[in-house]
Structure 1
Amino acid sequence: MSPHRVLTALGCALTVVLTTAGAPARSQPTPGPAPARAAATTVRTQDGPVRGAAHDGYRTFLGIPYAAPPVGRLRWAAPRPVSPWTGVLDATRPASACPQPAGEVPGGSTDEDCLRLDVTTPDGARPTHPRPVIVWLHGGGLTTGAAGSYDARRLATRGDVVVVTVDYRLGALGFLAHAGLPGSGTFGLADQQAALRWVRAGIGAFGGDARNVTLAGESAGGYSVCAQLASPAAARLFDRAIIQSGPCTGRPDRPFAPSSAALPTANAAGRDLAAKVGCRAARDALACLRRVDVARLLAAQGADQQPAYGTPLLPVAPGAAIASGRFHRVPVLIGSNHDEGNAWAAGIVRAGNPVDPDTWPDVVAAFFPAPGQAPAIVREYPVHRTDGGPVFGAVIGDADFACPTAATARLLAARVPVRRYEFADEHAPPLIPGPPPFPLGAPHASELPYLFDLGGRPRALTAAQHRLADAMIGYWTRFARTGDPDGPSAPHWPRRTALSLAPDRIVPTRTTRSRHHCAFWDALGPARR
């Protein structure tokens, strides 16, 4: 197998299915009488009244704007305040996702008026005591994903918390860097901060405690939490952090996990994008880029995006900031999944790229091209006749997720309280269509159905998996409430030991580093460039 063939397969290796209903036209403020349930579902925010929907035991408010539409001259500008409204904003239907290619969002999206958020709250707008708030940042390589994919009803009602899911600019529209452009490479991160400021200012109207906000995310959303921990501009915007499968120490030379890029590298990528859409030679390249049709930008951008560091919003890479202690001192819950890499490996195998003893050295060399690395990995992870796919998955998972997560947790724990988990349900509901070429175990994103109803449809769980889901929601929401996930009816979560999460087997584990070959990956070191 040639390196080019392997790397080409990467683009279609993992498609997480979080299908949502097609988004209707954008809701607009409309004056006039509210429907009969207005007393229960109409809330006055700092920008104007919004009308949500009442359900059995909870309420939702969808598509609330937290910043002005980033269109025209505001494309690639810092988020600006919302223009207040006087009529009642219809918040009963999903808003459009931020621009992205087709995939998680059916048909994709080209709607730049997307700086919106959804609020899910248990019944009772003003409880005796304000509820903790969890602000969720979706994953998707900073290129795809949507707040509306994550139905938070179980998290909100079982945990008695207010959940806010956020849409933020993605792809080139969120992370373009260009010489002379203020905010280069960090517009999506700035959007997340604008949403957090909105929460601090107004979540009390929904029964949430603006002084008790947990910022949480998975994959690219988890890495976004890392970036916010490292961003001076995010100071005092959140009180705790949850990082799921988005370790802060991700590196560009290990391409499956999210990472960041130095500003000069990001600027070079921005010049390449400008050339692809015909703007590189323009007298005013930025003005030219702001006129380019969204669909054309989406076609020209890369499959994954990286925030730029060496910028005012992100002065240093998140991993470096955490290693040096230059991050916000908040408690952190962090973890990864036992078989993170299996879905990518399965996608590559299913695309017609066999992994067997003959091809294995070339596969490894394609992803680890630095001199001396590939032979060492082949020796550490030998492939026998029929186990090539799972071995490849183990390499991806260990190098990009398990060991970086352990390293991130260790660095954080030197300065703040940390609780670490490993999700280990080997029969987790599949998130990719069709039968896999080998059992996937607990791959990337497989913990999400235990916290959310993805796409508004609960996955089929066994009785034991339902108990695990309830336990995880308990841990997550107790952490959001107090910074301590432990509870009187749950297995104890030790402070210095990772907790393995599996159906009817929630136990501390001290073998994570050895099981995932972390001493080997630590010794292998970064690629020399």
Structure 2
Amino acid sequence: MSGTKLMPLSPREALRSGRFNRVPVLIGVNHDEERGRGLGQELAPGGAPMEPEAYEPAIREEFGDRADGVLKRYPLGAFPSAGEALATVRTDAAWSAPTLDTARLLSAWAPTRMYEFSERDTPWFDAYPTPSFDQRAQHMSEPAYLFDMDLFQEVKHGQARFRDRMISTWVEFADSGRTNRPHFQEAGGYVQTLASDTWRRADFTKDHDYPFWKNHR
């Protein structure tokens, strides 16, 4: 709650006005955040893969008077399954676009770097059934690369270098506030892809249809 001694301003107002501790910031998001929720619901007791006919009602319930635009922009036929379609919509609307907005606000006041965890071949939860579609960089995927956790299957041997590079980069930032990657504001909204095949600049606004969501809130 804002307006208190602990939190005198809402986070939105603090970021807009610059009234916060201006230290270097590393902010990130996973490329496929909502796949975790969708697959979790699917594998929960009584759950099942989403049926195609359930997609449109789910969009209409979630987006109300904006649903027609969302369905036109994310037609079911453009995806292998209804579950993947809904997860993509939710990821872009609730995670990707807001994270980019937050990075833009932060970068006006403090050195800011943004990344996107984009690994496609991530470990699934150990002892859980195989899901109906690939989990990819879902909400809980990156901890498997950072910690020894029995919760997950083992990280593949060929990804050890990627894991070590990601850990060392984050540790360097925590220690010094620096990395060898460009600042978000200095490179026109630079977002760094983190994946085992390559580290490159993400085409973030295109990948997550940012202009659409900027105008549909």
Bin the TM-score by the shorter chain. Answer: 0.7 to 0.9
Q: Provide the residue aligned with 2:183 in structure 1.
A: 495
Q: Provide the residue aligned with 1:401 in structure 2.
A: 95
Computed over aligned residues only, the root mean square deviation of the Cα atoms, in angstroms, reads 2.0
Q: Provide the residue aligned with 1:471 in structure 2.
A: 165
Aligned mate of 2:37, from 344, 354, 376: 344
Q: Provide the residue aligned with 1:519 in structure 2.
A: 211
Aligned mate of 1:330, from 9, 18, 23: 23
- CA deviation profile, 1:194-249 (whole Å, cap 9, x unmatched): xxxxxxxxxxxxxxxxxxxxxxxxxxxxxxxxxxxxxxxxxxxxxxxxxxxxxxxx
2:201 partner SS: strand
Q: How far apart, in 1, do the equivalents of 2:132 and 2:179 lie?
A: 37
Q: Which amino acid aligns with 1:446?
A: S
Residue 354 (structure 1) aligned with residue 50 (structure 2):
yes
Q: Are 1:390 and 1:438, in contact at CA under 8 Å, matched by a contact in 2? A: yes
Q: Provide the residue aligned with 2:142 in structure 1.
A: 447
Q: Are 2:125 and 2:152, in contact at CA under 8 Å, matched by a contact in 1? A: no
Q: How far apart, in 1, do the equivalents of 2:28 and 2:49 lie?
A: 30
Q: How far apart, in 2, do the equivalents of 1:398 and 1:506 lie?
A: 21
Aligned mate of 1:434, from 129, 137, 157: 129
Q: Which amino acid aligns with 1:419?
A: R
Q: Which runs of 5+ in 1 are unaligned?
A: 1-307, 487-492
- CA deviation profile, 1:279-327 (whole Å, cap 9, x unmatched): xxxxxxxxxxxxxxxxxxxxxxxxxxxxx33332123331332122222
Q: How far apart, in 1, do the equivalents of 2:206 and 2:67 lie?
A: 20
Q: How far apart are residue 354 of structure 1 and its match? A: 2.4
Q: Are 2:118 and 2:195, in contact at CA under 8 Å, matched by a contact in 1? A: yes
Aligned mate of 2:199, from 498, 506, 516: 506
Q: How far apart, in 2, do the equivalents of 1:361 and 1:458 lie?
A: 33
Whichever structure has more helix as a proportion of its residues is: 2
Q: How far apart, in 1, do the equivalents of 2:8 and 2:49 lie?
A: 40
Q: How far apart, in 1, do the equivalents of 2:89 and 2:51 lie?
A: 12
Tell me the matched-pair count: 207
Residue 365 (structure 1) aligned with residue 43 (structure 2):
no
Q: Are 1:464 and 1:504, in contact at CA under 8 Å, matched by a contact in 2? A: no
Q: Are 1:355 and 1:363, in contact at CA under 8 Å, matched by a contact in 2? A: no
Q: How far apart are residue 445 of structure 1 and its match? A: 1.9
Q: How far apart, in 2, do the equivalents of 1:519 and 1:355 lie?
A: 29
Q: Are 2:93 and 2:213, in contact at CA under 8 Å, matched by a contact in 1? A: yes
- Closer/same/farther in 2, CA of residues 366 and 408 from structure 1, 3 Å limit: same
1:443 partner SS: coil
Q: Which amino acid aligns with 1:323?
A: R
- CA deviation profile, 1:98-140 (whole Å, cap 9, x unmatched): xxxxxxxxxxxxxxxxxxxxxxxxxxxxxxxxxxxxxxxxxxx
1:453 partner SS: coil
Q: How far apart, in 1, do the equivalents of 2:164 and 2:16 lie?
A: 34
Q: Provide the residue aligned with 2:187 in structure 1.
A: none
Q: Which amino acid aligns with 1:460?
A: E
1:479 partner SS: helix
Q: How far apart, in 2, do the equivalents of 1:334 and 1:315 lie?
A: 23
Q: Which runs of 5+ in 2 are unaligned?
A: 185-189
Whichever structure has more strand as a proportion of its residues is: 1
Q: How far apart are residue 417 of structure 1 and its match? A: 0.5
Q: Are 2:26 and 2:112, in contact at CA under 8 Å, matched by a contact in 1? A: yes
In the superposition, the TM-score normalised over structure 1's length comes to 0.37
Q: How far apart, in 2, do the equivalents of 1:464 and 1:411 lie?
A: 37
**Sequence identity percentage:** 34
Q: How far apart, in 1, do the equivalents of 2:13 and 2:214 lie?
A: 16
Q: How far apart, in 1, do the equivalents of 2:19 and 2:213 lie?
A: 25
Q: How far apart, in 2, do the equivalents of 1:325 and 1:431 lie?
A: 40
Q: Provide the residue aligned with 1:87 in structure 2.
A: none
Relative contact order: is structure 1 or structure 2 higher (C-alpha 8 Å, sep ≥ 6)?
2
Q: Are 1:330 and 1:417, in contact at CA under 8 Å, matched by a contact in 2? A: yes
2:179 partner SS: coil
- Closer/same/farther in 2, CA of residues 320 and 431 from structure 1, 3 Å limit: farther
Q: How far apart are residue 483 of structure 1 and its match? A: 0.8
2:131 partner SS: coil
2:19 partner SS: coil
In the superposition, the TM-score normalised over structure 2's length comes to 0.87
Q: Which amino acid aligns with 2:71?
A: V
1:507 partner SS: coil
Q: How far apart, in 1, do the equivalents of 2:2 and 2:60 lie?
A: 28
Residue 389 (structure 1) aligned with residue 94 (structure 2):
no
Q: How far apart are residue 337 of structure 1 and its match? A: 0.8
